[in-house]
Amino acid sequence: MYDTQTIIFFLILIISILAFIREWFPIEVTSLLVLAVLLITGLVDAHQAISGFSNKAVITIAAMFILSHAFTKTGFIRVFTVWLENSGQGRNWLVSTLFLVSVSIFSAFINNTATVAILIPVAIDLSHRLKISASKIMMPLSFAAIVGGTCTVIGTSTNLIVNDIAYEAGYQIGVFELSKLGIILVVATLAYILVAQKWILPSRVPVKGLTKKYHMGTYLTEVVISPESPLNGKKFIDLNLGSKYDLTVLEIIRHGNHITTNIRNIILRPDDILLVQCSVDKLQTFRAEQKVLLLTDVKLDDNELADNENILVEAMVSPNSSLAGLSLMEIDFRRRYGVFVLALRRYREIVRSKVAHVHLRHFDTLLIFGSRTRVAALNSDPNFIMLDELDTTLHKIKYWWLAVAIIPLVITVAALNLMSIMEASLLGAILVMATGIVPPQEAYKAINWTVIFLIAALIPLGDAMETIHLSDKISGLIISASGSFGDIGLIAIIFFITMMMTSFLSHSATAIIMTPLAIKSAGILGLDPIPFIMTIMFAASLSFMTPNGYQTNTMVYNPGGYRYLDFIRVGLPLNIILGIIGVVLIPIIWPL
């Protein structure tokens, strides 16, 4: 029989998992709601409820965000990566491999989301130079970043969380302890990618044509029927626009009225606004042949349109962007940035409202029209990741040499046990702020507060699990599983359960839930907990088979032109391969 508290805990857990998967609320809001319910139901007390915000792992993660930002400000990652690519001497497979090797190296030491954000433009430029589709390089970029992060304790926030839980339980893990298996997984991943690029990865993004400067995608935009347009007086169904221009009209706006039903029988009139979904090259053809006006024609003056300095670029709303949740109208985007958002594209979703009224989300892709000067300003704005503006120069900011050296210095100090990881990273963050490399306001923006609140709010879940003695209650299941499958079988069960959870749930949340259970499982069976801790560290990070399982997968989804099934087809075999390698080697490297 389960007592009331246990039933309440499982209800909270199940509902929170559904909320994370279904995205009912932003993930940090969901995690805070979980914390509130745990407090209200008495599963944690007030002290436990706020303990996550002073947790060593949370402080370390925040400090590493600042250190990563200082490092990336110098442009060193792009310079080094492009230099490494050039070492390939024109051999596509070697250039691609060296690029992915550099991704893995940097992801082992700085936040892998930051690494991918910086290297997306490099990857797009690389696809152009190698004359291959961006689809062939974007997913490998994400996968290399994910697996590179498994090589060190500081490589991912997940590793830091698991490391802190292990430390509280009395187990010390060295900075490079994970490298014993992590490097093997990197090699296996790169070998798989070489095969996948040739045989499995799709070519969804065309290599040539109008998309030479920016990749082709399906966009939502608005066109206005001019008085000279041959569309005037024609019934929509008779125009055959869908097959001719591969264009979908989502609604017609006439004198402020939105027509969304029976569009096929509407007779078009001058000044009608059509909300259309269309690829960029087809949109240009439609504009020329049917004499319709894009909103740029309506809202930009003739001088701006005639200016040869105007360009079209794509920008992604960054994972740290303060603009998320606001519409372009609320932002007053045109006045604030001096550029015009022509269209918007969203992961797995067709937006069915006017572009100016759409509330932005992280990883939305914006097609932006404006002067080179204004667009260049966006390149340094932390709200955006520019997808096609490639800057490969070293930015010699104040004390740039310290910005490059600070992370290796932190790692060295921690590896030599002169300081803990938390102490070294915190002092490093203070140093880069004190020297002006990262001003305090910039440091605040560099921290991904979604990650911080998510982790800090969910850490009390571990305390709630202790309150209901969950580990003791599942001891029978653990012993039964061990008896049926053996100790290595138990490692395999924990590995693949964790891997599946992290594919659909936040990897940080998965680590918080699974690590205490793994440590208790080892204790019940009288086994060394270190192999179980390592199992969680690796399994919670290896998320390849869904685009929403890891932030970097979501980031490359639009630039790579992928579909959801592409990740299952390419990522699932890699999950299985690395899972088998992990299950076989973990008990050998860290004996039970």
Q: According to the model, what pLDDT value does residue 585 have?
A: 94
Q: Are 450 and 61 in contact (CB under 8 A)?
A: no
Q: According to the model, what pLDDT value does residue 446 have?
A: 80
In a domain, 515, yes or no: no
- Which residue has better confidence, 354 or 197? 197
Does 218 score more than 70 pLDDT? no
Mean pLDDT for 185-210 is 78
Band (192; pLDDT cuts 50, 70, 90): very high
Q: Are 561 and 134 in contact (CB under 8 A)?
A: yes
pLDDT digits (tens, 9 = 90+) for 152-181: 988 888 888 898 888 888 888 888 899 999
Does 477 score more than 80 pLDDT? no
Mean pLDDT for 227-237 is 88
In a domain, 485, yes or no: no
Give residue 412's Cα distance to chain centre.
Answer: 28
pLDDT digits (tens, 9 = 90+) for 563-591: 888 888 999 999 999 999 999 999 999 98
- Residues near 42 by Cβ (< 8 Å), separated by ≥ 6? 5
In a domain, 336, yes or no: yes
In a domain, 241, yes or no: yes
> How far, in Å, CA of 347 to CA of 316, rounded?
11
Q: According to the model, what pLDDT value does residue 481 have?
A: 63
Mean pLDDT for 424-434 is 88
Lowest mean pLDDT among 88-92, 109-113, 410-414, 521-525: 88-92
Q: Is 232 exposed, middle or buried (0-12, 13-18, 19+ CB in 10 A)?
A: middle
pLDDT digits (tens, 9 = 90+) for 31-85: 889 889 888 988 888 888 888 888 888 888 888 888 888 877 777 766 777 776 6
Q: According to the model, what pLDDT value does residue 258 have?
A: 75
Does 208 score more than 50 pLDDT? no
In a domain, 375, yes or no: yes
Does 507 score more than 50 pLDDT? yes
Domain count, the chain: 1
The 8-class DSSP code of residue 360 comes to: P
The mean predicted confidence, pLDDT, of the chain is 80
In a domain, 99, yes or no: no
**End-to-end CA, the chain:** 33
> How far, in Å, CA of 407 to CA of 109, rounded?
7
Does 390 score more than 60 pLDDT? no
Residue 264 lies in domain? 212-386
SS3 at position 249: strand
Band (395; pLDDT cuts 50, 70, 90): low
> How far, in Å, CA of 459 to CA of 165, rounded?
9
The identity of residue 145, as a single letter, is A
In a domain, 446, yes or no: no
Does 452 score more than 90 pLDDT? no
Q: According to the model, what pLDDT value does residue 212 have?
A: 40
- Residues near 566 by Cβ (< 8 Å), separated by ≥ 6? 135, 139, 201, 202, 204
Give residue 157's Cα distance to chain centre.
Answer: 13
Looking at residue 369, which CATH number applies to its domain?
3.30.70.1450
Lowest mean pLDDT among 162-171, 185-194, 450-459, 531-540: 450-459
- Which residue has better confidence, 183 or 468? 183
> How far, in Å, CA of 84 to CA of 407, rounded?
21
Does 308 score more than 60 pLDDT? no
Q: According to the model, what pLDDT value does residue 146 have?
A: 92
Helices and strands, counts by H and E, the chain: 29, 9
Tell me the two tokens of residue 514: 């699974």
Band (303; pLDDT cuts 50, 70, 90): very low
In a domain, 131, yes or no: no
